[in-house]
Amino acid sequence: MTRFIDREKARILRSEGRSYSEIGKMLGASKSTLNGWLKDMPLSAEQMREVRDLNPRRIENFRKTMRTKREKTMAVAYEKARKEIGRLSRRDLFIAGIYLYWAEGTKSARGRSEIANTDPAVIKAFLQWLVVAGVPKDKIRIRLQLYKDMSIASETRFWSKILNVPVRYFRKPAIKESRLTGLTRKHGHGHGTCDLIFDNVPMWEYITGALKYIRECHMRP
């Protein structure tokens, strides 16, 4: 009686366009058993396409194929850019730092040069720029902005290692009341925000002048 009920269930599921694999998992029936029950119920061409397109393994294989293609395309683009850019000179780094500050730096606080970002590479690039500009590392202050469920000690160690600066350069962090685990998108916030600060009026005046100059260069006809 039980097998008769299962057979009827299988035929109903098949009429809905289910594959042998799906029906077998739902009823605990082997493929040979289903073949005997459903041999007179082949799927239509449209149903076959739906089963094929919704197959989890097929979808995952498609995703892997597309991911591999994207990775290959990006690898080609990276190699082309690497060859065209070449080794960065001291002047290249200096000009790049000005543009970086133009985009990300604080411009309203007189006498203070400051840049904040969640990307360690951005902060490290600006730190390198300050060194190129002649700013001693021991004159730089660092302040982290963290979420309340983050470890101050571990995040300080992380940024200290990434930036290759002693922990003593770090000031008391600013703690946000929200939690990192509560963010819908954590990408880019995994280690909080790092704020790099250098208080020096002549340097601020120089950066301000440099920004004015490059702005004028871009506004020329």
Q: What is the mean pLDDT of the chain?
A: 84
State whether 96 and 204 are in the same domain.
Answer: yes
Whole-number pLDDT of residue 25: 81
Whole-number pLDDT of residue 54: 56
State whether 60 and 108 are in the same domain.
Answer: no
State whether 96 and 168 are in the same domain.
Answer: yes
pLDDT band at 11 (very low <50, low <70, confident <90, very high): confident
Who has greater pLDDT, 178 or 121?
A: 121
The answer to whether position 164 is within a domain reads yes
172 Cα distance to chain centroid = 27
Structural domain range at position 57 = 2-80
- 183 pLDDT higher than 70: no
The answer to whether position 191 is within a domain reads yes
Q: 3-class SS at 175?
A: strand
- 164 pLDDT higher than 70: yes
pLDDT band at 87 (very low <50, low <70, confident <90, very high): very high
Mean pLDDT of 85-90: 90
For residues 212 and 101, give the distance between their C-alpha atoms in angstroms, rounded to a whole number. Answer: 12
State whether 122 and 155 are in the same domain.
Answer: yes
Helix (H) / strand (E) element for 27: namely helix 20-27
Mean pLDDT of 40-68: 68
Whole-number pLDDT of residue 216: 94
